[in-house]
């Protein structure tokens, strides 16, 4: 039998555990797995692109457990009343090859993306930052805001989105949680003087929503929107002026903001900073960018965290997914016993 956590139970687990508690635990799992980066199999995600969007598989293994995530990204879906992103994930035992755990991952992806943003910001953000500017208030935005408040105490937000309804949704969701939110008139107003900027737009296009002249000295940019070929948010001149941190360089050069740069442009993989073998922010005035495209190890972390969290609870059910005849060499017996020939 395989443990399965569906959307209802993931939602129930989040609601009853509390996002602050979840982010506290999940940040530790992500950071721990990044620090043992060399233990994992690593490859760019397997992507199938179409006019409509992208469908991807994201696999990894640490030698004991194997995981993968199925995920799509279809920006036009909202016009049809559908989610832009949907996902599910699997953990399997490497020794036997048997899957042991399955979960929805649309909600989990939002959690792990926000947790990874916090992990990256810890060595890159200047101390004492009290507010965050956000360009893009879609599905990821609330999770980012709550994660940064949980870690850094930031509850003053200045936001802007091309979609007024998305901004209204954001305010309605977060003001009751105690956030002080200013809705800006445009992107320039949203980021003016900001020391922490999160960008997360959905359009699958080479957009430029943030340029060099808009960014204050010493800012840290949490860049989430560039996550597939042909989809960017930051001006190339801003990238060249900044110190850039990535997950897996090979993948980010295909999908991230740095797809705009030369193939030999300098970037630093985040795990090296967390391990202490590379420097993060080296001066107060430096502009830092976390060019986050999402990587399979983050999915591994959140699946592992959820699997451990739900043991001994009623947040999962068991699926009869594995064919197991009494004689493992006689698969045909599963149908022959009751077959009508």
Mean pLDDT of 97-116: 97
Question: What pLDDT was estimated at residue 205?
Answer: 66
Distances (CA, A) of 14 to 86, 140, 155, 171, 204: 18, 15, 20, 20, 30
Spatial distance between the Cα atoms of 3 and 320, rounded to a whole number of angstroms:
9
Angle at Cα 182 formed by Cα 179 and Cα 186, nearest 5°?
140
Mean pLDDT of 334-339: 81
Distances (CA, A) of 200 to 29, 182, 255, 283: 24, 17, 14, 26
Q: How confident is the model at residue 265 (pLDDT cuts 50, 70, 90)?
A: very high
Question: What pLDDT was estimated at residue 204?
Answer: 61
- Does the pLDDT of residue 201 top 80, yes or no? yes
Q: What is the pLDDT of residues 176-189, one digit of tens each?
A: 999 999 999 999 99
If you write DSSP's letter for every residue of 41-77 in order, what string do you get? -----EEEE-SS-EEEEEEEE-SSEEEEEEEEE-GGG
Question: What pLDDT was estimated at residue 338?
Answer: 74
Question: What pLDDT was estimated at residue 26?
Answer: 98
Q: What is the pLDDT of residues 282-317, one digit of tens each?
A: 999 999 999 999 999 999 999 999 999 999 999 999
Query: Cα(first)–Cα(last) distance of the chain, in Å?
Result: 29
Question: What pLDDT was estimated at residue 284?
Answer: 96
Most confident of 8-12, 201-205, 258-262: 8-12
Active site residue 227: yes
The domains located in the chain, with CATH, are: 2-107+297-336 (3.30.1780.10), 125-294 (3.40.50.720)
Question: What pLDDT was estimated at residue 103?
Answer: 98
* pTM, rounded to two decimals: 0.94
If you write DSSP's letter for every residue of 162-195 in order, what string do you get? S-HHHHHHHHHHHGGGT-EEEE-SSHHHHHTT-S
Spatial distance between the Cα atoms of 222 and 129, rounded to a whole number of angstroms:
14
Q: How confident is the model at residue 145 (pLDDT cuts 50, 70, 90)?
A: very high
- Does the pLDDT of residue 207 top 80, yes or no? no
Question: What pLDDT was estimated at residue 143?
Answer: 98
> Considering the chain, what is the average pLDDT of its residues?
94
Spatial distance between the Cα atoms of 333 and 125, rounded to a whole number of angstroms:
61
Selected catalytic residue, list 227, 235, 291, 299: 227
Spatial distance between the Cα atoms of 41 and 218, rounded to a whole number of angstroms:
35
What's the DSSP call for residue 203? -
What's the DSSP call for residue 319? E
Of 26-35, 79-88, 139-148, least confident by mean pLDDT is 79-88
Q: How confident is the model at residue 229 (pLDDT cuts 50, 70, 90)?
A: confident
Contacts of 79 (CB under 8 A, 6+ apart): none
What's the DSSP call for residue 231? B
The H or E element spanning position 268 is: strand 268-269
- 8 A C-beta contact, residue 187 and residue 210: yes
Mean pLDDT of 192-219: 89
Question: What pLDDT was estimated at residue 30?
Answer: 98
Q: What is the pLDDT of residues 5-53, one digit of tens each?
A: 999 999 999 999 999 999 999 999 999 999 999 999 999 999 998 988 8
> CA 153 from chain center: how many Å?
21
Mean pLDDT of 240-262: 95
The neighbour count for residue 137, using CB atoms within 10 Å, is: 30
- Does the pLDDT of residue 202 top 90, yes or no? no
Mean pLDDT of 151-177: 97
Question: What pLDDT was estimated at residue 225?
Answer: 78
HSE toward the beta carbon, residue 288, CA cutoff 13 A? 27
């Amino acid at each position: 039998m395989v443990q399965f956590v569906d959307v209802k139970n993931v939602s129930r687990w989040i609601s009853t555990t509390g996002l602050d508690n979840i982010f506290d635990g999940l940040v530790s799992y992500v950071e721990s797995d990044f620090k043992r980066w060399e233990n994992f199999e690593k490859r760019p995600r397997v992507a199938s692109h179409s006019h409509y969007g992208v469908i991807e598989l994201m696999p990894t293994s640490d030698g004991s457990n194997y995981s993968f995530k199925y995920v799509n990204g279809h920006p036009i879906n909202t016009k049809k009343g559908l989610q832009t992103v949907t996902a599910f994930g699997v953990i399997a035992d490497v020794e036997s090859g048997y899957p042991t755990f399955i979960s929805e991952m649309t909600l989990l992806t939002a959690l792990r993306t926000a947790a990874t943003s916090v992990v990256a910001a810890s060595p890159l953000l200047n101390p004492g930052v009290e507010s965050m500017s956000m360009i893009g208030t879609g599905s990821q935005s609330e999770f980012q805001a709550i994660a940064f408040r949980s870690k850094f105490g930031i509850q003053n937000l200045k936001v802007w989105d091309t979609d007024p309804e998305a901004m209204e949704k954001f305010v309605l969701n977060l003001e009751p949680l105690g956030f002080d939110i200013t809705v800006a008139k445009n992107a320039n107003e949203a980021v003016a003087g900001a020391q922490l900027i999160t960008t997360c737009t959905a359009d699958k296009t080479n957009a430029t929503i943030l340029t060099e002249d808009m960014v204050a000295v010493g800012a840290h940019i949490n860049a989430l929107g560039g996550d597939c070929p042909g989809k960017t948010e930051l001006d190339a001149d801003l990238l060249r002026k900044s110190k850039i941190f990535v997950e897996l360089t090979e993948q980010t050069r295909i999908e991230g903001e740095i797809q705009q740069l030369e193939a030999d442009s300098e970037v630093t993989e985040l795990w090296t900073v967390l391990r202490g073998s590379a420097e993060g922010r080296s001066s107060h005035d430096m502009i830092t960018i976390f060019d986050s495209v999402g990587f399979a190890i983050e999915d591994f972390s959140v699946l592992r965290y959820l699997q451990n969290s739900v043991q001994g609870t009623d947040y999962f059910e068991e699926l009869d997914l594995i064919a197991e005849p009494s004689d493992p060499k006689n698969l045909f017996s599963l149908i022959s016993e009751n077959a009508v020939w």
